[in-house]
A = this chain, B = another copy of it.
Amino acid sequence: VSEPVVYVDGRFVECSRAAVSIEDRGYQFGDGVYEVARVYDGRPFKMREHLDRLARSARAIRMDLRGLDSLERDALELLHLNGWGNRDLYIQATRGACPRSHCFPRDLEPVVVMTAREAHPYPPALRRQGVAAITLSDDRWARCYIKSISLLSNVLAKQKARDEGAFEAIYIRDGFMSEGSSTNVFIVEGDSLVTPPLTNYILPGITRATVIGLATGCGIPVAEESVSRERLLVADEVFLTGTTTEVMPVVTVDGVRIGCGAPGRTALRLFEQYMRLVTG
């Protein structure tokens, strides 16, 4: 097995030899943005949407990230060099390297790093069984719509979930759920989907939007509404969405059984439709 190739600032290199400056502002300040796109059987899903969101995140932090078309070409070349297949394409853009100072020079060139690891889809058994989630107080900053690499809270939240035997931590801000540490959250009430509206406090998920589109397309009403923790706990179904999570049914939240304690019909139906779309 040959070593994976990664992309570092314009060059394709073997992963073990890939390095960045210790003065890269991504390393010293978390000063950067990122995306993860999944490639299904050689086909990147919604690549352009991910690149567009990367550009929006960059603009939001005042990073001058140009050349999205050439970035897309480089991403495809990276996938080619790694033999296509099923991959998670990780793209990170940091503000560049310079002697450490909070303020940033205007003429700094962003540094782009990409990896294209083999995707490890969750086992079908996990989805048939459903996963546990915990809730925890949303201690993140106020600009979670930016997909930034300053992810320390998310790291600690996900680890806490894992330590408690759960799959995901769902953030609660002022009594209402915002999102998971790396996913968006939906609930099902009767025949309808409900998910929090797009505010500063959640990421405008590409899978979230895709699932809303799929639901609408098959006549399932979707409401974008605030959902309190109490409302979450008594939902008929709960599920998570995300690029690598796809659609994942949640069967307990904080140990409380959701619905009948098994993955819900709506979640499984949307998962099937989602998989049809991505492999279509």
Contact = CB atoms under 8 A, between A and B. Distances in A.
A150 B21 contact: no
Contacts of A159: 62, 102-104
Contacts of A21: 18-19
Contacts of A182: 102
A141 B141 CA distance: 4
A195 interface: no
20 contacts: A20-B20, A22-B113, A26-B27, A27-B92, A27-B113, A29-B30, A29-B151, A30-B151, A61-B156, A62-B159, A100-B117, A102-B181, A102-B182, A103-B155, A104-B155, A139-B143, A140-B141, A141-B141, A143-B153, A148-B152
A152 B61 contact: yes
Contacts of A148: 152
A115 interface: yes
Interface residues of A, number: 52
Please report whether the interface of chain A is mostly helix, strand, loop or mixed according to DSSP. Answer: mixed
Given A18-B22, A19-B22, A22-B18, A117 B99 contact: yes
A222 interface: no
A141 B139 contact: yes
A8 interface: yes
Contacts of A30: 29-30, 149-152
Interface in A1-34: 6, 8, 15, 18-31, 34
